[in-house]
Each structure stands twice: as C-alpha cells, then as structure tokens.
Amino acid sequence: MCVKRLPKSDRVRVLINGVHAKSGGGVIHLRNILPLLAADERLEVHLFLHADQIGLFHPVDERVRVHLFTFRNGFFRLLLWEQTALPVLARVMNADVVFSLANFGPLLAPNHVLLLSNTFAVARSEWRLSKRLYWLALYLVTFLSVVTCRRSIAVSRYALDTLAPRWYRRQGGKTVVIHHGVSPLFVPDAVVPRERFLLAVSDIYVQKNLHNLVRALATLRERHPDIRLLVAGSCIDQTYYRHLVELVTHLGLTDAVTFVGRLPPEELRPLYQRCLVFVFPSTAEAFGLPLIEAMACGAPVACSNATAMPEVVGDAADQFDPGDPVAMAAVLDHLIESEDRRAELSRAALRRASEFSWQRAARETADVLCQAAGGK
C-alpha cells in the first residue's frame, strides 16, 4: 500500500502500530480501545495492519483511517519492516505520535509510545531451544524500544516492574500504569443456573499451563466424576496442543475435556455465566483479560498466584501455585464442594470487575498520546 503525504492537522495525528495484534489480549485490547480513541476530539487516528489481520477487526470504526500492508509475513520479516519502513511512512504521513501495541516497536519512529503488555516470564515455561531464542530476541528489542521511546504505558504494575529497567522507571512522567477495561457485553445472569463444568479461556500456548490443569482435573474426577473442562481459545502452538491431546488421552479424560476453539464474545459470555468455576492456571501474564471478563459475569474464579494475576483479581479469587497440580486440584475441589464459597467469590468478582473500564483506559491513553506529541 502507498501511504500519501498528509497535511498537518490541528488534532494529534496518532499512528497505531497494530501489526502485532494477532490473537488473545492484543486483539481484545485494540478492538475495545480503538473506537474510544477515535471518538476523542483531540485525536486523528490511523491504524497500520497487515492485510491478514483485517478479519480480526472488521468492521473498523469509520472514524479510523485503516492502512493495510501486504509485505511477506513472518516474525523476522515483520520486525524488519517495522524498523525500516514504518518510521519512513510515519514521517510521510506527518504523524505526531506512533503508538505500538506491543513491548517493542520502531526505534526511529517519531514520539514513539509503547504498550508494555507481554511478560518475559513466559520464557521460563519453554523447553524448546528455538522458542527460547525467540524470547531472547524479543527481550533485546524490547529493551531497546523502552530505552528510546518517548513514553510507555504498562498494563499492570507487574508489567512495569518487570519490563522497564529501574533507572527508566525513576524518570518521572515517562511511564504510567493503565489497566485494561472490560466490555459491557460481559454481565451476570442470575436466571441461568451454573452447570458442572470448569471453564478455561486462553489461547493455547505452553505458558497457559493447561497441562497442569488437565492433571488437576484427573485428580478431581476421582471425587467428582461428572466434572468436565471446557477450553476456549485459538490453537496457536500446534506442538503444545498435540502434547495436551496426548496427555488427555493418557489420563483417560477424552470424555471430560473439550477444546472448543476461539469463540466470539457473544458466545463466551454464556459460558462465563454458566460455568461452575472459571479457572486461569497461567504461569505468566502481564494482565489476563479473561479474568475480568469472567468476574464481570459473576463467575467464581480460581487462578494462579503468579505474575500479574493477584494484582488483577485482588481478593475476588481463590489462588493456587500454577506449578503444583495437586494444590490446584485442592483449591478447585473446595470450590466444587462449597456453594457458599462460590457465592462469596461471585459477589466479590462483580465488585472487582466494576473497577475496570475501557472508557477510563482510553481517556488515560489519549492523555499520554497527547503528552507524547508535545502537548499539541
């Protein structure tokens, strides 16, 4: 695609670098915040996507100017395009600020703003050398991006503390924590009875720790043979997915575990409303959007006590060590047995979810973008 030179604007011209938003929280974040940024009268919003991504965001708010690119896809090709072509295009467009929705972005982009949204604790879950090298490359480009950017937004205090060097955090005004919000689509339904299944919502990667959840389920089924597990999410890591399927078969759980794939929010909502317990066993999260979606639907939540998850759930979830399937099973067993505890967590979940707002996140993000542009 050829980007035309644009005249200067009275508003802050924001170029959103969305080429890394391909699954999970990155897609949810951009879908929710994009129309709210476009509605801000201070901003003129442009969105850069690869042509392969448009289906994830269609229809895009008509106030957003979408620019689609068709360079050969692939992680390292994308990085090369991002570091070379994107800064040139930003200057051709007279962009006031470039907002990258990843830990990293174009080092030479004008007034670059980063979204610190992925944790490198993921690498500790990897046993494959190729994946470890991948995460090492991401760490290096993230460090360079953080050092050179104009401002950065962390999606949690945990993300800020682990992704930004201490000396960087001490630079007053350069960083800010802005929590994600939750869509108003996710609401409780007191009429719908909860059913005897556990729900996990996450794309299928090794750090999502679904293998230990499957092992915990095998223990639970000894006392609760009717309990099932539904897993909703895209199969991103095929090698890990095959490992999960083999584990399910080996443990005799083929009738108890269902992988339903990626579901749109309209189909996720009734699962959140009906599940007996929502389980989030991840080992590494910078935030964990399904947690607040589940809480907004009043689901009793059990989650890992690692990385950003305690910060997100507060006192509205029972927590476990994600590396210990026995401990995980014990927490889940207590919730299955105790209707009172589930009701208590459901009430706490609704209170906690009410503290998260996409409107507030968009307003605070727009403030940062205007400040990065020089107070235009």
More confident residue, 122 or 313: 313
Which listed CATH number (3.40.50.720, 3.20.20.80, 3.40.50.2000, 2.40.128.20) goes with 12-181+357-372?
3.40.50.2000
What confidence tier does 14 reach under pLDDT thresholds 50, 70, 90? Answer: very high
In the chain, beta strands by DSSP E: 12-17, 43-50, 65-69, 97-100, 112-116, 151-154, 175-177, 197-201, 228-232, 257-261, 277-280, 301-304, 318-320
Predicted confidence at residue 70, as pLDDT, reads 92
Least confident range of 97-111, 295-309, 325-339, 355-369? 97-111
What is the DSSP annotation of 316-365?
Answer: SSEEE-TT-HHHHHHHHHHHHH-HHHHHHHHHHHHHHHTT--HHHHHHHH
pLDDT of residue 162: 84
pLDDT value for 118: 80
CB atoms near residue 223 (< 10 Å): 11
Query: pLDDT tens-digit profile of 145-200?
Result: 888 899 999 999 999 888 776 656 656 668 899 999 999 999 999 899 999 999 99
What is the reported pLDDT for 248? 98
Burial of 249 (0-12, 13-18, 19+ CB in 10 A): exposed
The pLDDT-based confidence of 238 (bands split at 50, 70, 90) is: very high
% of the chain at pLDDT higher than 90: 77
**Which residue stretches of 205-338 are H helix?**
210-223, 238-250, 265-274, 289-296, 309-313, 325-337
At 169 the pLDDT is 62
Dump pLDDT digits (tens) for 324-371: 999 999 999 999 999 999 999 999 999 999 999 999 999 999 999 999
- What is the share, in percent, of the chain residues with pLDDT greater than 70? 92
The pTM assigned to this predicted structure is 0.90
Question: Picking from 83-87, 112-116, 145-149, 312-316, which range would have the lowest pLDDT averaged per residue?
Answer: 145-149
Q: In what order do the strands lie in the sheet with 12-17?
A: 65-69, 43-50, 12-17, 97-100, 112-116, 151-154, 175-177
Region 294-318 average pLDDT: 97
pLDDT over threshold 60, residue 123: no
CATH of domain 197-353: 3.40.50.2000
The answer on pLDDT for 140 being more than 70 is yes
- The pLDDT mean for the chain works out to 92
Q: Does position 112 have pLDDT exceeding 60, yes or no?
A: yes
What integer pLDDT is reported at residue 16 of this predicted model?
98
Digit-coded pLDDT (tens) for 47-83: 999 999 999 998 999 999 999 999 888 878 888 999 9
The mean pLDDT of 94-99, rounded to a whole number, is 96
Please indicate whether residue 9 or residue 179 has the higher confidence score (pLDDT). Answer: 179
Mean of the pLDDT values across residues 24-40? 94
Residue 300 predicted with pLDDT over 60: yes
Domain limits, CATH 3.40.50.2000, in the chain: 12-181+357-372, 197-353
Give the pLDDT score at 261: 95
- Asked which of 20-29, 97-106, 167-176, 202-211 is least confident by mean pLDDT, the reply is 167-176
How sure is the predictor about 220, in pLDDT bands with cuts at 50, 70 and 90?
A: very high
Closest CA to 268 of 235, 300, 301, 290: 290
Q: Is the pLDDT of residue 268 over 70?
A: yes
